[in-house]
Amino acid sequence: MADKYQDTVAKSQVTTDDEKVKAEVAKILADEMEANRTADVMKLLFNCIDLTTLKSTDSPQSVARFTERVNDFENEHGDLPPVAAICVYPNFAPVVRTVLDVTEVNIACVAGCFPSSQSFPEVKVAETALAVEGGADEIDIVMNLGNFLDGDWEEVCDEISELKHSCRDAHLKVILETGALKTAENIRAASILAMYSGADFIKTSTGKEYPGASLEAAYIMCQCIKEYYDQTGRMVGFKPAGGVSTTDEAIAYYTIVKHVLGEKWLDNEYFRIGASRLANNLLSDILGVETKFF
């Protein structure tokens, strides 16, 4: 019997040649990045940040203070756009929902037993549903890497579909953990499977156990998003995360997205950056003076 998962991935025309990807990324950045180093691009990037706190020491008080800074930002820098979302552990969704005053900022929660995705499927579904019930607008889950690397792609897709269902109206971001997948071939397959299973976004990394985002992974993922859009008409968002901390790094990802996907993807509905340190660095470059606001 034909394997529909293998067949779907095999039909993709996206390159799996790692050296070719590396060369293409280097060329795009050399040719196009400098033109994107503008104040408007920096403001847009700031508006695409998922401002994140995912520490073992997070508490209701610390998350409330973290959220208050986003409220304060609107009062002190009303001329600048806010961040796109505040990203927290699922048990803190009600805290952010209670404290957050800025209507344009979403509440994102990691769920599905982040960052390892190692637990019973029922636990992942329950955690996702509880996060949404607690006020999450967006859910970030990790693809089951063990099943993926074992070749049990049906199990991988079934789980993502089930978690998408338990999100109800919330958007689902699927983290591929590209630092663990390593090769262009694996990243391509994971991107395609996630999108066909209902992902609203595909995201590079957790920033926890493995190397974080890479420009090469971003290039492959964006190529997969483009191919999927050409085939289905559905726009899927892209989110690099894990180690994106400087303005230069953020502009490099913007450059890749712009080159591969075009202007339609360049807003926070379809482009996010998961970051805890980037906000202050971008803010410093936008304002022209070192700023530690968050």
CA dihedral 90, 93, 95, 99 (to 10 degrees): 150
The beta strands (E) that lie in the chain are given as 49-52, 85-88, 106-110, 138-142, 171-175, 201-203, 237-239, 273-275
* Catalytic one of 140, 164, 258, 285: 140
Half-sphere exposure of 242 (CA within 13 A, CB side): 23
User: Burial code of 29-39, b = ≥16 C-beta within 10 A, e = fewer?
Assistant: beeebeebeee
* Catalytic one of 173, 203, 258, 285: 203
User: Cβ of 192: how many Cβ atoms within 10 Å?
Assistant: 23
Q: Is 226 a catalytic residue?
A: no
Report how far residue 231's alpha carbon sits from residue 184's, in angstroms, rounded to the nearest whole number: 21
Q: Is 140 a catalytic residue?
A: yes
* Catalytic one of 124, 164, 239, 258: 239
Angle, vertex CA 241, rays to CA 235 and CA 244, nearest 5? 125
> Would you give the DSSP letter of residue 107?
E
The radius of gyration of the chain from alpha carbons, rounded to an integer in Å, stands at: 18
Q: Is 20 a catalytic residue?
A: no
Three-class secondary structure of residue 282 per DSSP:
helix
- Give the residue numbers annotated as catalytic, written as ranges: 140, 203, 239
